[in-house]
Amino acid sequence: MNFYDSEKMSDLLKHHGYTLDNNINNADLIVINTCHIREKAVEKTYSELGRIRDCINSREEKTGKKSIVAVAGCVAQAQGKEIMRRSPWVDIVVGPQSYQNLPELIKKVDPLIKNRHLDIDFPVIPKFDSLNNQIYRRNVSSFLTIQEGCDKFCSFCVVPYTRGSEYSRPAQSILDEAKKLIDSGVKEITLLGQNVNAWNSQGSDNKIWGLGRLIEELAKIKELQFIRYTTSHPLDMDLELIEAHRDVTKLMPYLHLPVQSGSDKILKLMNRKHTSSQYIKIIEKVRTHVPKIAISGDFIVGFPGETQQDHQDTIDLIKEVNYSQAYSFKFSIRHGTPAARLKNQIDEDIKSERLYEIQDLLSLQQLAFNKMSINTTSNVLVLRCGKKDKQYLGKSPYNQSIYFKSEIKDLIGSTVDVTITQAFQNSLSGKIR
């Protein structure tokens, strides 16, 4: 989602006369977009800010030019004042719901006087309606945010505080943006939301549409070839969406459905509002409709109070589901969330041990899944060049990276049939048929 927001900010600033410069040492304006989901991501913000300070100081020494520094995103939202205090070289702090105000905030900053501005309000007019939706340049595969914020309040998570309450963009505004993306050459769209499958909005027939219906509608756009979405919540996995997986060929057979833990005790403490068997039933229902769908997930190990038995329950769940890929994290204390106040915090060493164990198992499952692709052929959108000579990269329907070679120049944006010849831990390689 931050990637999408960064592109939006870049479009917005281009509209106001800025051009993108990949060399930080030349930049008049540096915008750093930040993530607050885990402590490590926050630490990165401060270390990156230190690097930026060195760059802008040396630019000023050499050229006399002062760069403007803006911090955007969820760390800005949660720790705006702290950033201003710790990093006096930061001029602007802007939350994820207010970056549409960036051009105005920049205008107010005078590099000579160094006025500083903090804008971390949750505006009454949602940002998408006040953003100038001009699209400048996109890769052939693009993100499109359709839903933001969250009302579920899992006890470990900062999202409801940093991104605000659940908001679904109107269907028409999404369809309009999708058409603009497609006009600019996009062939694949990944719909984004913190709980993307909670999306709902009134459609053109005045009925309330859910994500499944929206996907059906998007699939009608001829030039759009591939549709994906992320991230889903188990409780919002309705039949319409499952049926869309069965019926809409443009919708890729990949479902990222985080569960976090396999222990009902921990799920309750996490306030996930479902049990492990309810989660498994949802997966079974999905697989009944779409037998070959790839399932991925998220796991948190070492949540406060997690015993060896709770950890074993997670391992059992992983074995039962059999994931094609997954993300797993050590529980990270986020101040202000209920889980931060829980007693029985788990030792870092134990968290590490459990994380390794889970990641070993998930890696085995991923490799086994990848190996099943050998000798299969998929229609693949060519996304970009690989690092090797004449090498290209695409994604399989199941979200695996596929590398293949071709003598043909400028293949990016075309679709080709690729037969998989080799499977690795994190990628596949194949030959164009």
Residues forming the site for ligand SAH (CB under 6 A): 37-38, 156-157, 159, 194-195, 231, 233, 258, 260, 298, 300, 329, 331-332, 334
Using alpha carbons, select from 30, 8, 306 the residue that is nearest to residue 134. 8
Q: Which is nearer to ligand SAH, 87 or 231 (CB)?
A: 231
Minimum distance from residue 306 beta carbon to ligand SAH (Å): 12
8 A C-beta contact, residue 69 and residue 91: yes
Size of the site for ligand SF4 (CB under 6 A): 10
Write the binding mask 121 to 160 for ligand SF4: x where contact by CB under 6 A, - elsewhere. -----------------------------x-xxx--x-xx
Q: Which entry of ligand SAH, ligand SF4, none binds 38, CB below 5 to 8 A by partner kind?
A: ligand SAH
Q: Which entry of ligand SF4, ligand SAH, none binds 331, CB below 5 to 8 A by partner kind?
A: ligand SAH
Q: How far apart, in whole angstroms, are the C-alpha atoms of residue 330 and residue 354?
A: 9
Report DSSP state, residue 74.
H
Q: How far apart, in whole angstroms, are the C-alpha atoms of residue 412 and residue 394?
A: 9
Q: Which is nearer to ligand SF4, 260 or 373 (CB)?
A: 260
Q: Which entry of ligand SF4, ligand SAH, none binds 153, CB below 5 to 8 A by partner kind?
A: ligand SF4
Write the binding mask 157 to 186 for ligand SF4: x where contact by CB under 6 A, - elsewhere. x-xx--------------------------
Minimum distance from residue 166 beta carbon to ligand SAH (Å): 10
Q: Which entry of ligand SF4, ligand SAH, none binds 37, CB below 5 to 8 A by partner kind?
A: ligand SAH
Using alpha carbons, select from 420, 408, 2 the residue that is nearest to residue 194. 2
Q: Which is nearer to ligand SF4, 66 or 233 (CB)?
A: 233
Q: Where are the alpha helices (DSSP H) in 28-184?
A: 39-63, 74-86, 102-108, 127-130, 159-162, 171-183
* β-sheet with 254-256: strand ranges across: 254-256, 294-301, 325-330
Q: Which entry of ligand SF4, ligand SAH, none binds 329, CB below 5 to 8 A by partner kind?
A: ligand SAH
Reported as type and span, the H/E element at residue 34 is: strand 29-34
Going 37 to 136 to 209 to 211, the CA torsion angle's sign is negative
Q: How far apart, in whole angstroms, are the C-alpha atoms of residue 341 and residue 353?
A: 23
Using alpha carbons, select from 93, 83, 86, 82 the residue that is nearest to residue 115. 93
Locus of tokens 């005045």: 206
Q: Which is nearer to ligand SF4, 224 or 269 (CB)?
A: 269
Q: Which is nearer to ligand SF4, 276 or 378 (CB)?
A: 276
Residue 195 contacts ligand SF4 per CB under 6 A: yes
What three-state secondary structure class fits 341?
helix
Reported as type and span, the H/E element at residue 30 is: strand 29-34
Q: Which entry of ligand SF4, ligand SAH, none binds 31, CB below 5 to 8 A by partner kind?
A: none
Minimum distance from residue 322 beta carbon to ligand SF4 (Å): 23
Minimum distance from residue 260 beta carbon to ligand SAH (Å): 6
Minimum distance from residue 301 beta carbon to ligand SAH (Å): 9
Write the binding mask 206 to 235 for ligand SF4: x where contact by CB under 6 A, - elsewhere. ---------------------------x--
Q: Which entry of ligand SF4, ligand SAH, none binds 338, CB below 5 to 8 A by partner kind?
A: none
Q: Where are the alpha helices (DSSP H) in 248-306?
A: 264-269, 276-289
Q: How far apart, in whole angstroms, are the C-alpha atoms of residue 64 and residue 166?
A: 45
CA distances, 91 to each of 49, 59, 83 (Å): 12, 16, 10
Minimum distance from residue 291 beta carbon to ligand SF4 (Å): 27
Q: How far apart, in whole angstroms, are the C-alpha atoms of residue 252 and residue 399?
A: 8
Q: Which is nearer to ligand SF4, 126 or 397 (CB)?
A: 126
Q: Which is nearer to ligand SF4, 109 or 159 (CB)?
A: 159
Contacts with ligand SF4, residue ranges (CB under 6 A): 150, 152-154, 157, 159-160, 194-195, 233
